[in-house]
Amino acid sequence: MLDGLTLDQMRVFVMVAETGSFRSAAVRLSRVQSAVSHAIGNLESQLEVTLFDRSGHKPQITPAGASLLADIRALLIKVDAVRGRARGLGQGVELEITVALDPQFPLPVVAHALGELCESYPKVAFRLLSTPLGASYDALLEGRCELAITGLDLINPAIELETLITVQRVAVAAASHPLARAAGATLNTIVLADHVQIVGEDPSALTDKRDYGVMSPTRWRVADNITKMALIMAGIGWGSLPLWMIEEELRDGRLVRLPVAAFGKDGETTLRTYLAHRVDRPLGPASAAFREALLTNLPPGDRTP
């Protein structure tokens, strides 16, 4: 009986389980609801188990269905990987490469890797997307990029993660800001509550609009680190920035480290970064070359284990 199983039936089953209803699954799959119901009915007949309890307003996945769901998801990922590898066997050099980049990652490293790519593949066009937090995963899953450099380790079996480096971030304020004149005292939440914090905005729904490292109730939200740095330098508020980006400003005293208690010693935190790509979309020659160049140009001793 199992020989009659189809990949389409399994994909419909996963979609119903994820959306919570036959109607929603039909919309996502661009099918009529009766076709979805028919596919689930056939799958249940093939497996000889009931996958959904249909007695209520919405179908509820049964214990047997929940048990099989993980196995079917894993099987579909394997199938997609095989298809992707097969496509890659005859793949030529890409005309364009798109990389989604978390702005915390050191731009000089990316620039050096791109320089090497230009020498090896001078005809390949390159697009760099600024994608903070979960936006890199969105870009990958939606097919808007081939590679993503991200600072989040969201686990998704459809995405392969490769560890890159840790990035140091430092809480800072302009030398003229009141917090910079706090006589070196550790800054707790009560003290920070009186000052504006400049924070980066997460455009992705994957992280549910959660705030990371937000300490002040009064906050200004910005889309990128360049804007964030400009507002901090203007004395409007304080915030955390990548150390590689502000080393000169710290040396000449225009920016001052803030010993924010929640951030650790000297207000410094670390962020582990990853290179990500989809399992079902193997890297083409130029994308693979960029990956190698990126790994080669990582700062000595900074690569995380």
Spell out where the chain has E strands: 52-53, 60-61, 96-101, 125-130, 147-150, 159-174, 197-200, 219-222, 239-242, 255-257, 268-278
CA 254 from centre of chain? 32
Picking from 14, 13, 20, 19, the residue whose alpha carbon sits closest to that of residue 60 is: 20
Those residues with Cβ within 8 angstroms of residue 124's Cβ, 6 or more apart along the chain or in another chain: 93, 94, 95, 96, 97, 117, 286
Q: Each residue's pLDDT tens digit in the chain (305 positions)?
A: 456 678 888 889 899 998 888 998 888 888 998 898 898 888 888 888 899 988 888 889 999 888 888 888 888 877 776 665 555 445 567 888 999 999 999 999 999 999 988 888 888 889 999 888 788 888 988 889 999 999 887 777 888 899 999 999 999 999 999 998 875 678 888 888 889 999 887 776 655 555 556 767 788 988 889 999 999 999 999 999 999 999 999 999 999 999 988 887 778 889 999 999 998 888 888 999 999 999 999 987 555 54
User: Cα 282–284–289 angle (5° rounding)?
Assistant: 115
Is-contact 151 102, C-beta < 8 A?
yes
Residue 49's SS3 state is coil
- All domains in the chain, ordered by first residue: 2-89 (1.10.10.10), 96-164+272-296 (3.40.190.10), 167-269 (3.40.190.290)
